[in-house]
Structure 1
């Protein structure tokens, strides 16, 4: 960590484009960070030291009560540290005005934390307004943020939080946290209060946003699968936020530091690795599609001409609506209203192989539609492609294990040879 004051360009495989290309994160250094509460003999957090790179997503994961949320809240001083230092881009923020600090650090929590008496637009505009942005810039930023999180500005601008679904509220919460373009985003179990399907989609949305924006994200969760899916690195914390292991998801899955980390990873580490590969990394194929506004004869013709036994019907916005099989229209007497099977699940390009496999197996039809940021159809991924990727992953793991075993045997042989070189044949040292 060099302590420079300028933001460092984040590196990685995400190609930032458009408005997000110039936005970068900031380095964060925690030095002996400690929190003691009066009347408690043991500190809640004790001597935590950690370096987080600019543009990196770091996940704090550990059992309930281990101090992970307390550690997170000390970064923006919602909880004041009892000791230690916090540096953001080399600047010691421990002694600066905490209100000014919080305006420079985005913060998203469980259940969104939106103000119920404010509209969506007013919630998002809150911090830009507080720091004195001009009205025209704020209006443009609100629209930009809503577009960024996949919500139509015209539709959601004037709504109140109570008029939104849980997933929509969380999207607005993230938009509000990002509105003033902070280099750092803190997230405290932000998706913990929504249903599993919405949670998967929100996780995918966060991954997509990070590809565009390259923020520095510190994210608290108790869900290790979520940590694997989202994190560049994961800090597995014991009680009082003592760091048991701080490493990449791959390293923690394949080489846990001790029994505590192994227990937290749990069974099925090989299957958990499915969370490390995205749908975008495997083959997405095109599929014959028709639109609900197409004439029935055109749909009949497309069904006959399709190389598959079914076709995907899209709604007026180009989103997957129904799977139509040959004979569906005949049995439904030519009516699209009764024909076909509704599309119940889709995945995005940022979904994991685990998400995709679950969707395919739930559907029982061997394929799942892939959609874009607004739910528009982009292609299909099938079970054969997914299983081939799983087999390749397992084969790579097998080869890595063999190589690791070979290295261990070579090391033992070298050690034995060195010991023999140092002693004579009768056991006396030469």
Structure 2
């Protein structure tokens, strides 16, 4: 995708809302626009699918100039997901997801199969959610359906305008993880707008930090922006603790995930006790009928259970996926205050556990790498200064100019 001299002016306003934006986005890349409120990032996004018509400039997708084609046809080929999902309340989940394929003339059998595929892809059981209405869904479920609808017609480009901004922090983390997983499978070209720099670091292959009128302050990888912000404006977005923000660059799947003794709610109590003794830990993870983490059970809990697990143990309040960041995992471990967090896969199924020791080792390795990089940079700087001093001395440097013969 190419944005060339893209500009938007509104009548009566002497200053353009978006001024002369130039940008190239590679196929399959996730680019995040981040900037202060009112800087023009959403306006720039909406010009890509011509929800807002550009005043001047060009937009090319796969080499095709979309500023000269039918805007309605364009919007059917570009997925669009917004905050609060934007679902039609009078339509079922299946009807919402199938609306664009239906408008483009897909046969009913193909639409039905695609709806089931999309629900499964975003981690919702087709049998359970197919006939529900938006009001019957949680905020996180609505956002998943919104993403499924945006992807239903298999568009090459997906535009996302603060899609996770209206949900609670835990749900937001899981939706971000889901998007990362989807992108790994689908390889769409994604342009994502957010005001949350941590979200930008987590999701973006590259980040465009925008000033007013969408002027680009820096357009680079998250790691490059964290370690070498272009100016004070960009540094303001990075904020304090840049080293800790780098925890958003490493995934749970990149560190060691250990197995834990598990049991299901239907297992006999004696079998669970035996599994605990053989596992080498002082607790077992109880899974529900769908294989999802349900309760942590300690030895004492089992001894007091008196034949029933109904009131025994501690409910699992938080989990992370393999696509979650180390920062997500560290927050979950600290919140739980038990030194570990369960790792889940598709539809929340248990996959393993990551513990505090593993996370802290990763943090120490990251901080040590930063320390060595800083030392190397300092050494190179000193070498450069020493070389400059030698050159001045050998060639009659500034300190010798004008000296008496």
Give, in angstroms, the shift of residue 361 of structure 1: 0.6
Q: How does 1:16-415 map to 2 (within 5 A)?
A: 28-415=1-388
- 5+ unaligned residues in a row in structure 2: which ranges? none
- 5+ unaligned residues in a row in structure 1: which ranges? 1-27
Partners of 1:420 and 1:48 in 2: CA distance: 48
CA-atom RMSD, angstroms? Answer: 1.4
Partner-residue secondary structure (3-state), 1:72: helix
Give, in angstroms, the shift of residue 125 of structure 1: 0.7
Match status 1:427 vs 2:391: no
Partners of 1:74 and 1:409 in 2: CA distance: 48
Give, in angstroms, the shift of residue 413 of structure 1: 2.6
Instruction: Provide Cα deviations, 1:222-281, integer angstroms capped at 9, x if missing partner.
Output: 000000000000000000000000000001001000000001111111111110000000
Partner-residue secondary structure (3-state), 2:98: helix
Partners of 2:302 and 2:152 in 1: CA distance: 48
Give, in angstroms, the shift of residue 417 of structure 1: 3.2
- So what's the TM-score if we normalise by structure 2? 0.97
Runs of 4+ deviating beyond 4 Å? none
Partner-residue secondary structure (3-state), 2:87: coil
- So what's the TM-score if we normalise by structure 1? 0.92
Partner-residue secondary structure (3-state), 2:310: coil
Instruction: Pick which of 40-49 and 301-310 moved more.
Output: 301-310
Instruction: Pick which of 112-121 and 411-420 moved more.
Output: 411-420
Give, in angstroms, the shift of residue 296 of structure 1: 1.6
Instruction: Pick which of 216-225 and 127-136 moved more.
Output: 127-136
Q: Between Structure 1 and Structure 2, how many residues are aligned?
A: 403
Partners of 2:74 and 2:400 in 1: CA distance: 71
Give, in angstroms, the shift of residue 411 of structure 1: 2.3
